[in-house]
A and B are shown apart, each in its own frame.
Chain A
Amino acid sequence: MRDPRWLPWARWAGLGLLGLFTLTPLYVMLTSAIKPLQDVQGDFHWIPTTITLRPFADMWRTVPLARYFANSLIVASVAALVSVVIAIFAAYAISRFRFPGRRIFSVTVLSTQMFPGILFLLPLFMIYVNLGTALGVELYASRTGLIITYLTFSLPFSIWMLAGYFDSIPTALDEAAQVDGSGPIGALLRVVLPAATPGIVAVAIYAFMTAWGEVLFASVMTDESSRTLAVGLQGYATENDVYWNQIMAASLVVSVPVVAGFLLLQRYLVQGLTAGAVK
């Protein structure tokens, strides 16, 4: 099987164009973050003339970035953690048991993925507000409300992906564990979970990324004290000035953790995706 002679050229040209399109904004983000303010307000220059790290220091003062960062970190971590635990149990049930309602459950959970967020934004907003007044539970404008909301966003995909992953683990393994005296839960904990670690890690990253990047609910369901990065970053645009260099610096800082995690573990994500999707 020989590749045609023009293929390396086509590859070079095609991937080059895609790379240019993909990387230019990232280049601008990087270089603008180290420019002084007057250099990002005037004409654009490809090469920074003056290099400064001031934006990385100033960005914490222009808006309370540290608080937004902490809020995002708490919300996304707790949501990811809880969502993964719940997804493991549900996926195990789907993968290892045949029970009436199993199909309805999988289909319903998956179909919530297609709901426009805007459809349940309004009712959820009203539920949280009214629950707050009725029970004295602070759900609206609190991190708890946001955590509950976000963990359901990643649940459907996590359950689906983990069920696919569990299916690829031979049931003979858990049978052996059960013969050795473990119950179904023991088999899950001792056999299935260790074998499914890559899938679980991938799902956790996915859940974290989902919560870290969500904007719609964050814009409605937070106040100044519970505000997350998604909304907080817009604070750099004031009436008089837009601190583009600080925005770019802040965008860079808030992206590094998720991008690094994603790139380190994208292989697992691909494995999980195909394990779930091919069936």
Chain B
Amino acid sequence: MNPAVPAPDSTTVPATSRPATSRPATSRPGAGRRPASPGGPPPPVGRRRGIAGRVPARLRRVALPYLLILPAVLLELLVHLVPMLIGIGMSFLKLTQFFLRNWSAAPFAGLDNYSVAVDFDGAVGRSLLHSFLVTVAFTVLTVGLSWLFGICGAVLMQGSFRGRAVLRALFLVPYALPVYAGVITWSFLLQRDSGLVNHVLVDQLHLFGERPFWLIGSNSFVSIIVVCVWRSWPFAFLVLMAGLQNIPADLYEAAAIDGAGWGRRLRAVTLPMLRPINQVLVLVLFLWTFNDFNTPYVLFGKSAPHEADLISIHIYQSSFVTWNFGSGSAMSVLLLLFLLLVTAVYLVATSRRRSDA
């Protein structure tokens, strides 16, 4: 992610001309312990290191970056990569609750878990497809609205006016709030009888004759989008504001001298200049939203309503309610493949447009 950084190879070169005392203790196999010629006075420092210190210094230079990334690599292996490989392996096993403690004994299932998951005539496949489509619609709407709110907020925040700093800080609170605290508050707001939403819509605005349910039934789809947008638009706002700050002011001045009005400056300067930031922002929002487990889990509890049956919750349920980990893993792998595909297509498409421009 950091291309085009000048390679600072030179930073490591002076290693051979440094006094031995300040060298890191790691990765110098025995070099410093070598006895200087016994009896006589020790040879000049630079000279001794020129002969004995060269190979270890070179080795150290090669090994050092690997030592530096080693802890990160080990942890990523333990928590992400190995489990992912095991997960892929599990998806080919008939891994039901009988084999949980001794899962090497689980019989091989071939592609059974997959064929069940994508058999859209069967119950499992049909509900997975439903959940997938719900998630796609949910993600598109949530990301779109979050971005829209974010850009509106960021553009309107430009310039200086009274209360700007306070407002900016307040806007960021939903993002800073722990997920469960914010979402649990929303579930209180959305209660049918004691919630604020029905109080406003029914008692004050008289928009509905009867109090609607927001956490079950078809309205739950609207609820989850509202809550997710509430949580994620401040992130878009934060990133876009940072992006706006990086647009040089003389671009706006040049456009203004050319007679461009406010709207034209927005279209001709602001939005094109934000494109690199937008490329990353939309992708990150997409992945977070699509994979979001925390919001629906806290909002609806373990059983999500059919209309808001997001994919993470769906897989979680089909794994931990039925304890069929093989089938749950197969669904997770399918989800990962889908995300990889979308990300790859997205990156290719947006990068090409960028280099055309």
- Which residues of A pack against B, CB within 8 Å? 1-4, 7-8, 10-11, 14-15, 18-19, 21-26, 28-29, 32, 40-46, 86-87, 89-90, 92-99, 101-102, 105-110, 112-124, 126-127, 129-130, 133, 148-149, 151-152, 155, 159-160, 163-164, 167, 171, 174-175, 178-179, 181-187, 209, 212-216, 219-220, 229-230, 233-234, 244, 247-248, 251-252, 254-255, 258-259, 262-263, 266, 269-271, 273-274, 276-279
CB pair B176 A3 closer than 8 Å = no
Smallest beta-carbon distance A200→chain B, Å:
16
* Number of interface residues, chain B, beta carbon within 8 A: 119
Segment of B46-54, B75-83, B118-126 engaged in the interface with chain A: B75-83
Q: Is the CB of A279 within 8 A of B76?
A: no
Q: Is the CB of A214 within 8 A of B176?
A: no
Interface string of B232-268 (1 = CB under 8 A from A): 0110001101110110000011001000011000000
Chain B residues, Cβ within 8 Å of A117 = 291, 293, 312
Binds A, one of B34-42, B107-115, B188-196, B348-356: B188-196
On whether the beta carbons of B239 and A118 are closer than 8 Å, the reply is no
The chain A residue sitting closest to B182, CB to CB, is A25
Knowing that A255-B181, A263-B173 touch, tell me 10 more A-B residue pairs with CB under 8 angstroms. Answer: A15-B157, A23-B170, A119-B87, A122-B90, A159-B72, A215-B293, A229-B180, A255-B182, A266-B238, A273-B238
B313 to chain A, nearest CB (A): 9
CB within 8 Å of A: which of B39-91? 62, 64-66, 68-69, 71-73, 75-76, 78-84, 86-87, 90
**CB pair A167 B2 closer than 8 Å:** yes
Query: How far, in Å, is A28 (CB) from chain B's closest CB?
Result: 6
Q: How far is the CA of A209 from the CA of B81 in the complex (A)?
A: 24
Main DSSP-derived SS at the B contact region: helix
A1 contacts B253, CB within 8 Å?
A: yes
With the chains together, A124 CA to B69 CA distance in Å?
22
Closest beta carbon of chain B to A279's beta carbon, Å: 6
Tell me, yes or no, whether B219 is within 8 Å of chain A by CB. Answer: no
| B335 beta carbon closer than 8 Å to chain A | yes
Residues on B with beta carbons closer than 8 Å to the beta carbon of A99:
62, 65-66
Partner among B84, B233, B239 whose Cβ is within 8 Å of the Cβ of A123: B84
Pairs across A and B, CB under 8 Å, 11 listed? A108-B81, A116-B332, A117-B291, A119-B87, A122-B319, A123-B84, A174-B11, A214-B294, A216-B294, A251-B182, A273-B238
Known contacts A216-B294, A273-B238: A114-B153 contact under CB 8 Å: no
Please give, as numbers and ranges, the residues of chain A lying within 8 Å of B3 by CB-CB distance: 279
